[in-house]
Structure 1
Amino acid sequence: MTSTDPDIDPTATPSGTGCLECESTGSWWIHLRRCATCGHIGCCDDSLNRHATAHATHTSHPLIQSFEPGEDWFWSYPLNDFADGPRLADPQHHPTSQPVPGPAGRVPADWQVQLGG
């Protein structure tokens, strides 16, 4: 995948600093993923709601990038594998002050039990 890939818009800014749908419903997440096409921030598949995958399924946007500090990998849903991509518009990750899981104040004490762990 390259910056000329129509599925990647390097100028699309992130939709926020947390999962868009979890923020609107008061839920929480484990890790965050960013749509490489439109900048939508969703929670990962280890989270209860799996909003990043739901977004990709609903929109047919095939690529995500990690929105975690220190991670810059891309994932292709159609290939079910890692992919390459250009640097996307800042910010590159959620605020480093935001805990994992997050956000602060909404993660239940039994979050591991809720995830089946």
Structure 2
Amino acid sequence: MAYDGGRPERGCACEHTAALPATPDRPVGGCAECRASGGSWRRLRWCATCGHVGCCDSSPGRHAYEHHEATGHPVVLSLAADEDWAWCFEDEVFLVLETVPRESGGRPGTEKQI
């Protein structure tokens, strides 16, 4: 599994993809800052540098972004089960999993992760 480098065809690229884990942890427990303050979150983001779990920008606390601001750690991965992407705060680039066509025998249009 590997994340693409952004959107170089649009002039948007990310140099931080080499630091992304091959298989990101999917920690449970929620946003520590929200839990501590009695707040709530919508979606969770995982810091690719240190593993901090914070809430997304559409959550009231925006703790993943707050963590980036405090530490400079550039990339977060979505922890939602239905999402396989990352975001680079520094380069402002959305990163998606690279995919390849399924080997022969697969249904047309299906893909697999690498």
TM range (shorter): 0.5 to 0.7
Structure 1: gaps of 5 or more residues: 87-117
2:94 counterpart SS class: strand
Tell me what 1:41 maps to. 53
1:46 counterpart SS class: coil
Matches of 1:29 and 1:4, distance apart in 2: 26
Alignment check: 8 A CA contact 1:19 1:29 kept = yes
Alignment check: 8 A CA contact 1:20 1:42 kept = yes
Alignment check: 8 A CA contact 1:3 1:85 kept = no
Bigger CA radius of gyration = 2
Cα-to-partner distance string for 1:4-29 (whole Å, 9 max, x where unaligned): 834x3558856642011001111101
Aligned residues: 85
Give the C-alpha shift of residue 40 in structure 1: 0.8
| Greater strand share, structure number | 2
Over 3 Å counting, the alpha-carbon distance change for 1:43 and 1:30 in structure 2 is: same
What TM-score comes out, normalization by structure 2 length?
0.61
Matches of 1:84 and 1:56, distance apart in 2: 20
Matches of 2:16 and 2:63, distance apart in 1: 25
Tell me what 1:5 maps to. 18
Tell me what 2:31 maps to. 19
Tell me what 1:66 maps to. 78
Matches of 1:79 and 1:85, distance apart in 2: 17
Q: Percent identity of the aligned residues?
A: 40
Cα-to-partner distance string for 1:22-52 (whole Å, 9 max, x where unaligned): 0111110111111111111101111111000
What TM-score comes out, normalization by structure 1 length?
0.60
Greater relative contact order, per chain length (Cα 8 Å cut-off, separation 6+): 1
Runs of 4+ in 1 over 6 A off after TM superposition: none
1:5 counterpart SS class: helix
